[in-house]
Structure 1
Amino acid sequence: MTLDCNRTVVEVFTETCSQFADSPAFTCLGHTLTFREVEHLSGRFAAFLQQKTNLKPGDRIAVQLPNVLQYPVVVFGALRAGMIVVNTNPLYTSSELKHQLTDSGARALVVLANVASAAADVVAETDVEEVIVTELADLHPPLKSLLINSVVKYIKKLVPAFSFASSRSFKSVMKATKAEVQPHHATPEDVAILQYTGGTTGVAKGAMLTHHNLVANMLQVNQQMGDVFRKNQDIFIAPLPLYHIYAYTIHCMCAFSLGNENLLIPNPRDIPGFAKALKGVPFTCFVGLNTLFNALCRNEDFRALDFSHMRLSSSGGMALTHHAAKQWEEVTGTPVCEGYGLTETSPVVCINPRYGIRLGTVGLPVPQTQVKVIDEEGSELPVGEAGELCVKGPQVMKGYWQRSDATAEAIDAQGWFKTGDIATIDADGYVKIVDRKKDMINVSGFKVFPNEVEDALAEHPDIIEAAVVGMEDEESGELVKAFVVSTNSALTEKQVREFARQSLTAYKVPSSVEFRDELPKTNVGKVLRRELK
């Protein structure tokens, strides 16, 4: 089946809002916006950008928001005005934010008041000339907005002091704009989003994702999951940050385009608050990742929820352990469909079909996507052999922003994108990610992949999570070291190593084990092995 990718995100948005106008689109902290309201509010924001600022189509606007109602309004509004959205992590330090604002050449910033202090420290050193500050409940009804914002600011004291030389409040911007948005006619090949990646491995680079890339991936996922995704009937739980491309594509593209509701969770780390937000909600689709599944399954209030409407659980962003998958299915009654993707592929490359799940794999390539594995010399490897995974398809990015050398290194002349992940492909086409190429451990010439060891350790009943890295060793080159978070303070290093020996070859067994209260993670919940090393 051919996918009609020759539309822009804005065209998909406009068609969807017209078709499902009075249905709920986004819900957060007890308030819901319909598709009609998202269309109206995003139009007002777009009109503000067009008529009250000096911004022009193609200019970059950084959006530094968690999962709140303002996120889709601002992002769709910016795209309607012809801007390029720079998705920006609210947890960034001042230096990380300065790099992204400077590298992207962003001329505007929309920021949540709770995290605005970091931006206030550096924005004067960038090209940003428009700063718009929003508070948590700015799109709620007036009295509720005042109550929530006041509690957050004055009682919970979650808004550190900040000061910009010049800024506007989101509420004032929305009130001041009366005129209609002037339609901007983008082309499918225009860049829609600059999505920064590589921050955990080096200097973050901006992946240029075009309208074509994003619409293609939306259609690919919707077709692959056509036996479970329904139109205008599902409620998707959205705990993963929308500024991360995995959540953006699933919630703001796939679920949205089908007229479904997204329940936004602003702070998924607050597990009791998360469980409370789900109480009484007949949710059907849950999008998460390994660490979140583990944390929720340990919460009694979550375990007591009604899961009778659940039709799909999806996992991405990091490897899903067998233990987490089994526990999630026991608690919710729904198996997890693990998928795989990268920022550079908008992001979805593979998904396990709902009724053809093979645990331990990331499933089958989505439509119109080719995959292969290659050796160090670039030669394609036969079925079952491990090598670097390469991807080709309409969702592969245009390139890295202002980094032609890095683009040429990542995408060859035939359009194959080299992922940096080691994988195998079986005879049925299912892909298994063995590990990151750079994370592979070499023990006396034997390859050890951290994912395999972590998965084995996670089977221990007292181990919540584990991370494995290679440590330099004069004799064997590298040794395997495990970092473990345990529920049992009496668990010993010897016991962990003995448990590992039951399922791992001797050279894969950790030579040392360090116990931690928690593991360092990215904002999405992916373990930062680099920091442990």
Structure 2
Amino acid sequence: MGHQQGSTPVEAEMALPQRADGGDGLRRIHEGALQWAITTPDAPALTEGARTWSYAALAASVERAAAFLRGIGVRAGDRVMLVGENGAALAAFILAASRLDACAVLENARRAPLEVDRICCHCDPRRVVYLVGNSPDARAHALRAEASLSRLDELGEVACGPLNESAATDPVSGTERDLAVLIYTTGTTGEPKGVMLMHANLLFLGRMMVQLRRLHPADRVYGALPITHVMGLAAVFGGTFRAGAQLFIVPRFNVADCAAALATHGITIMQGAPAMFAKLAEHARSHPVAAPRLRFIAAGGAPIDATVKADTEALFPGLTLHNGYGLTEGSGLCWTRLDDPRADDSVGRALPGVELKLLDAQGQPVPAGGVGELWARGPQVMQGYYRNPALTARVLRDGGWFNTEDLARIDADGNVFIVGRTKDLIISGGFNVYPLEVENALNAHPAVVHSAVVGRAGASSEDVIAFVELVAAQRPALAELQAFLGERISPYKRPREIYAMAALPCSPNGKVLKNRLKQMLAQSDMPDATRLA
């Protein structure tokens, strides 16, 4: 275990037994949550708005959702597509699908109609269920599909699409290696990629949250990250219920609501995308933010920069903004440790049972200290891409090694530093430009909340182009930002053009959609962007 560039300190965590079922005999993701309905039935499990479900009530809701699915023809091995946003209903239906040995295809309702249609066509589900009670977007999808409405007591309204009698079932072995969920990666172009995650993958991450993040039943976890995406599902949703803690679930992130929850609901744990913490720090400039019980904060899902880290830690004195790295295909691969807080932007060391290596473009090991493509293998690596063996074979190799297609370096102690995406690398004037480095420099400017850097093809090279989200009422001149960058990065790395946007286009989990920015540039269609002069 560990990596191939130097040795990692021997830790007690590495001596723990590594079992595919997550280490304690669980075979299904619902078992980790519903065990508390037996041991601590009255303990609070889930809060949505003004209502709180105990673990006993959560178990009853899961059984009600399972009975509904069974009644509409969902069988073991079927795929049931769940279109919705964070809430008690979506939580219950995810666990209910597990209860029936069905696979939940998780689809955030905020996707565009054509994206939802394309994914539905690809996964060929037995049924599509729309959780419309707390999501106008889910209701719009349901109306477009002419789905039939039902009311399930405390779970509210759900809508059901027609029965797909031709949908074939997937094999069910009765082990933790059965398919638990399909999550389709973000993007608006190209063929959909359905990431097949087994129960074992998700159970492992829940166990790591208890072991390394020390979740316990007294914790109150803020759940703004979408549970239709892997970080929200595996770490927030799975980790909270694995620990028997309480999840405060919200449909989507709103900075004012988040600040209110931290102040009044005794939130002890908050995990989010770096953009969420950036917005919270900006909010604090004009509004008081108090979090009297907060004990742990962590960012993930997108690269973090030093400015966001510093601003967040200043907002919450005494706390370290921990970092981590993963992706849909591999969930969490690296985390910083509670007993080894980092002052830099490292994503920490590999999780117990995870191995890492860096390879160059020819597939050869990268010398110590060098940058290469990050390969990983471990208990949380996906089974493959659904109905796409060719793409699966491209990224999964013999021995279980998975190519993350991210560029990284690893120091002598095993700490990983993400440099950027292989496909995002910009070749400018013959030099390699890593967008993350430029974004970190831009984000250090006091007027910049958030930034994204992409390449634009030129006659013989690529231009570096930046998009920025600015602090309210501030509009720095291009020359000011260029001068600022001149002290921090080399001339060939500096953006040729910088565009200001009210909000960068992001997926529901806070990841900037760079493909959309590239499309805007290629088509010269940027009504929401203003070029700085």
Measured against the shorter chain, the TM-score band is 0.7 to 0.9
Task: Indicate the residue corresponding to 2:313 in structure 1.
Answer: 329
Task: Indicate the residue corresponding to 1:175 in structure 2.
Answer: none
TM-aligned CA deviation for residue 119 of structure 1: 2.9
TM-aligned CA deviation for residue 117 of structure 1: 5.1
TM-aligned CA deviation for residue 205 of structure 1: 1.0
- Off by >6 Å, runs of 4+ in structure 1: 162-167
CA contact (8 A) 1:468 1:481 kept: yes
User: Is 1:453 matched up with 2:438?
Assistant: yes
Task: Indicate the residue corresponding to 2:500 in structure 1.
Answer: 515
- How does 1:94-243 map onto structure 2 within 5 Å? 94-113=113-132, 114-116=136-138, 118-120=140-142, 123=145, 139=154, 186-199=174-187, 202-225=190-213, 229-243=214-228
Instruction: State which of 51, 55, 67 in structure 2 corresponds to 1:35.
Output: 55
Structure 1 CA distance for aligned equivalents of residues 209 and 368 of structure 2? 25
Structure 2 CA distance for aligned equivalents of residues 478 and 261 of structure 1? 49
CA contact (8 A) 2:130 2:159 kept: no
TM-aligned CA deviation for residue 385 of structure 1: 0.7
Task: Indicate the residue corresponding to 2:20 in structure 1.
Answer: 5
Task: Indicate the residue corresponding to 1:399 in structure 2.
Answer: 384
With normalisation by structure 1, the TM-score equals 0.85
TM-aligned CA deviation for residue 118 of structure 1: 4.6
Unaligned runs of 5+ in 2: 1-15, 164-171, 519-533
Distance 1:41 1:246, change over 3 A: same
CA contact (8 A) 2:263 2:291 kept: no
CA contact (8 A) 1:272 1:301 kept: no
Tell me the amino acid that sits aligned with residue 356 of structure 1.
D
Distance 1:332 1:489, change over 3 A: closer
5-14 or 399-408, which deviates more: 5-14
Distance 1:305 1:497, change over 3 A: closer
Structure 2 counterpart SS, 1:88: strand
TM-aligned CA deviation for residue 185 of structure 1: 8.4
Structure 1 CA distance for aligned equivalents of residues 315 and 281 of structure 2? 7
Instruction: State which of 61, 64, 71 in structure 1 corresponds to 2:83.
Output: 64
Deviations 1:264-313 (A, max 9, x none): 12231x32233334441111111111111111122249953432321110
Aligned residues: 484
Distance 1:210 1:233, change over 3 A: same
Instruction: State which of 66, 72, 85 in structure 2 corresponds to 1:46.
Output: 66
Structure 1 CA distance for aligned equivalents of residues 73 and 482 of structure 2? 62
TM-aligned CA deviation for residue 111 of structure 1: 1.3
Superposed CA RMSD: 2.4
CA contact (8 A) 1:287 1:313 kept: yes
Unaligned runs of 5+ in 1: 125-129, 150-161, 168-183
TM-aligned CA deviation for residue 234 of structure 1: 0.6
With normalisation by structure 2, the TM-score equals 0.85
Structure 2 CA distance for aligned equivalents of residues 211 and 196 of structure 1? 17
Distance 1:504 1:287, change over 3 A: same
User: Is 1:266 matched up with 2:281?
Assistant: no
State, as a whole percentage, how many aligned pairs show the same letter.
29
Task: Indicate the residue corresponding to 2:7 in structure 1.
Answer: none
Structure 1 CA distance for aligned equivalents of residues 513 and 313 of structure 2? 27
User: Is 1:432 matched up with 2:417?
Assistant: yes
Structure 1 CA distance for aligned equivalents of residues 490 and 173 of structure 2? 59
Instruction: State which of 49, 73, 93 in structure 2 corresponds to 1:74.
Output: 93
User: Is 1:372 matched up with 2:357?
Assistant: yes
TM-aligned CA deviation for residue 224 of structure 1: 2.7
CA contact (8 A) 2:259 2:290 kept: no
Structure 1 counterpart SS, 2:398: coil
Task: Indicate the residue corresponding to 2:5 in structure 1.
Answer: none
Instruction: State which of 460, 463, 470 in structure 2 corresponds to 1:486.
Output: 470
Instruction: State which of 222, 229, 250 in structure 1 corresponds to 2:235.
Output: 250
Distance 1:132 1:392, change over 3 A: farther
Task: Indicate the residue corresponding to 1:170 in structure 2.
Answer: none
Task: Indicate the residue corresponding to 2:282 in structure 1.
Answer: 298
Structure 2 CA distance for aligned equivalents of residues 72 and 314 of structure 1? 22
Structure 2 CA distance for aligned equivalents of residues 185 and 31 of structure 1? 38
Structure 1 CA distance for aligned equivalents of residues 215 and 378 of structure 2? 25
Task: Indicate the residue corresponding to 2:9 in structure 1.
Answer: none
Structure 2 CA distance for aligned equivalents of residues 349 and 133 of structure 1? 40
Structure 2 counterpart SS, 1:395: coil
Tell me the amino acid that sits aligned with residue 473 of structure 1.
G
Structure 2 counterpart SS, 1:45: helix
Deviations 1:392-415 (A, max 9, x none): 011111111111111111100121
Structure 2 CA distance for aligned equivalents of residues 203 and 313 of structure 1? 35
Task: Indicate the residue corresponding to 1:14 in structure 2.
Answer: 34
Tell me the amino acid that sits aligned with residue 75 of structure 1.
I
Instruction: State which of 109, 114, 121 in structure 2 corresponds to 1:90.
Output: 109
Structure 1 counterpart SS, 2:69: helix
TM-aligned CA deviation for residue 200 of structure 1: 5.2
Distance 1:308 1:343, change over 3 A: same
Distance 1:490 1:49, change over 3 A: closer
CA contact (8 A) 2:30 2:96 kept: no
Tell me the amino acid that sits aligned with residue 59 of structure 2.
E
